[in-house]
Amino acid sequence: MIIVFKPNATEQDIDHVTDRLRELGLKTQISRGEERTIIGVIGDERILENQPLSVFPGVESVTPILAPWKLVSREFQKDNTVIDVDGVLVGGRRLTVMAGPCAVEKLEITLGIAQEVKAAGGSILRGGAYKPRTSPYSFQGLGREGLDYLLEAKRQTGLPIVSEILDPRDTDLFLEKADIIQIGARNMQNFELLKEVGAYDKPVLLKRGLSATIKEFLLSAEYILSRGNRNIILCERGIRTFETQYRNTLDLSAVPVLKELSHLPVIVDPSHATGKWNLVSPMAKAAIAAGADGLLIEVHSDPECALCDGEESLKPRRFKDLMAELQKIAQAVGREL
Ligand code: PEP
Ligand code: MN
């Protein structure tokens, strides 16, 4: 951390700051220029999190050097985290494609889609049983019954399942039935929910908030990791911008940036990022080319009748074609599918 003093700061002001830093166990290096005095703080400056040094008399600016997160960082762990999801590895050389309906609907529909996902080479089945809908009048999901349909699909296909939790009171239910607990964009900063899923080692799929910065996203992951759960998958799902032509703007730069800053696996959701089925395949390919460890894709056998997000759902045949096309991209970037 670098602390810059105002030109009129007194020796007393400077001593006041250095004394406080020493009390906290930090060393200081003072540099007195002609106009300004600067202090370089030596030691783990994160302990200054609760010290508003910028309000100390004479201080002009305080610039942190270290990132505000620790456990999620590459410095903390050099090697990529690889997560074992009931036998499916996420974050290794092999790409992970999670696919399935936006919402779990009837049992037969769920089972049919699961078979198609499996046949096309998908490795994890997705499906929302509890849906965070903008309107209270929209389909809210089947709840517990929906999780049971997913479990039946898992029994028939062997695909592990990922589903979104909305309420910390449902944790036991998700620990029992889901292989990955999804925290959706709307809950990325629901800190109590983050702490709750952080208390177990069940894999968590953390989606980037609607308007979250990379810093906020990584700090949310840090919440989970700091509670002990190391099994976190980050998911870029588009952010809100001024553009209205598509649902969100897929921030693909986030992929290499997150991979550089963190050891956690990063996947991309081109379905919610675009909101349009015809944009899903091009963006899925771009995501893999950009270094994503996998994809989250909405697939529905009858998008016209889907109870949620039919407009962005791929029909199984298109999903199959996409999986074939992705093979070439995967190979080009040294990955397997
Ligand atoms: C979802 O994946 O079902 C979902 C609701 O996505 P998001 O939280 O990214 O909007
Ligand atoms: Mn959806």
Q: How open is the CA angle 237-167-100, to the nearest 5 degrees?
A: 45
Atom of ligand 1 at shortest distance to CA of 184?
Answer: 8
Q: Which of 15, 30, 63 is the last residue of a domain?
A: 63
CA distance 287 to 274: 13
Amino acid 49: pLDDT: 83
- Least Cα distance to 1 among 74, 51, 71 occurs for 51
CA distance 129 to 244: 28
Does residue 160 sit in the same domain as residue 248? yes
E-state strands within the chain: 2-5, 27-32, 37-42, 59-63, 83-85, 88-90, 96-100, 124-126, 161-164, 180-183, 204-207, 232-236, 266-268, 294-298
Atom of ligand 1 at shortest distance to CA of 309?
Answer: 3
Q: Which ligand is nearest to the CA of 308?
A: 2
Give the count of beta carbons closer than 10 Å to the beta carbon of residue 282.
Answer: 13
Does residue 147 sit in the same domain as residue 41? no
Atom of ligand 1 at shortest distance to CA of 238?
Answer: 9
CATH code of 149's domain: 3.20.20.70
CA 133 – ligand 1 centroid, Å: 10
- Name, in order, each residue with C-beta under 8 angstroms of 32's C-beta and a sequence gap of 6 or more: none
Amino acid 56: pLDDT: 97
Per-residue pLDDT for the chain (337 aa), expressed as one digit of tens each?
999 999 999 999 999 999 999 999 999 999 999 999 999 999 888 888 888 999 999 999 999 988 889 999 999 999 999 999 999 999 999 999 999 999 999 999 999 999 999 999 999 999 999 999 999 999 999 999 999 999 999 999 999 999 999 999 999 999 999 999 999 999 999 999 999 999 999 999 999 999 999 999 999 999 999 999 999 999 999 999 999 999 999 999 999 999 999 999 999 999 999 999 999 999 999 999 999 999 999 999 999 999 999 999 999 999 999 999 999 999 999 999 9
Atom of ligand 1 at shortest distance to CA of 102?
Answer: 3
Best mutation site among 130, 237, 299 for ligand 1 pocket (most ligand atoms within 8 Å of CB): 237
CA 184 – ligand 1 centroid, Å: 5
Does residue 328 sit in the same domain as residue 210? yes
In a domain, 263, yes or no: yes
Does residue 279 sit in the same domain as residue 322? yes
- Residue 158, SS3 per DSSP: coil
Q: Looking at ligand 1, which residue's alpha carbon is closest to its atom 9?
A: 185
In a domain, 77, yes or no: no
- Report the relative pairing of strands 37-42 and 27-32 from DSSP bridges: antiparallel
pTM of the complete model: 0.94
In a domain, 166, yes or no: yes
In a domain, 9, yes or no: yes
CA distance 74 to 261: 6
CA 192 to each of CA 170, 178, 199, 224, 236: distance values in angstroms, whole numbers, following the listed order: 13, 20, 11, 10, 22
* Domain containing residue 206: 83-332
Give the count of beta carbons closer than 10 Å to the beta carbon of residue 36.
Answer: 13
Does residue 94 sit in the same domain as residue 163? yes
DSSP states along 114-127: HHHHHHHT--EEE-
Q: DSSP letter for 80, please.
A: P
- Least Cα distance to 139 among 107, 108, 105 occurs for 105
Does residue 19 sit in the same domain as residue 87? no
Does residue 255 sit in the same domain as residue 145? yes
Report the pocket of ligand 1 as residue ranges, CB < 6 Å.
Answer: 102, 128, 132, 164, 184-186, 207, 237, 269, 272
CA 328 – ligand 1 centroid, Å: 28
CA 92 to each of CA 29, 133, 216: distance values in angstroms, whole numbers, following the listed order: 43, 33, 25
Does residue 213 sit in the same domain as residue 241? yes
Does residue 300 sit in the same domain as residue 165? yes
In a domain, 213, yes or no: yes
Amino acid 198: pLDDT: 98
Q: Is 168 exposed, middle or buried (0-12, 13-18, 19+ CB in 10 A)?
A: middle
Atom of ligand 1 at shortest distance to CA of 131?
Answer: 5
Does residue 45 sit in the same domain as residue 139? no
Amino acid 305: pLDDT: 97
Provide the number of structural domains found in the chain: 2
Best mutation site among 250, 269, 280, 295 for ligand 1 pocket (most ligand atoms within 8 Å of CB): 269
Does residue 320 sit in the same domain as residue 180? yes
Check if the beta carbon of residue 198 is closer than 8 Å to that of residue 184.
no
Q: Looking at ligand 1, which residue's alpha carbon is closest to its atom 6?
A: 184
Q: Looking at ligand 1, which residue's alpha carbon is closest to its atom 10?
A: 185
CATH code of 15's domain: 3.30.70.1140
Q: At 191, list the tokens.
A: 């800190």
In a domain, 337, yes or no: no
Check if the beta carbon of residue 237 is closer than 8 Å to that of residue 211.
no
- Residue 64, SS3 per DSSP: coil
Does residue 218 sit in the same domain as residue 306? yes
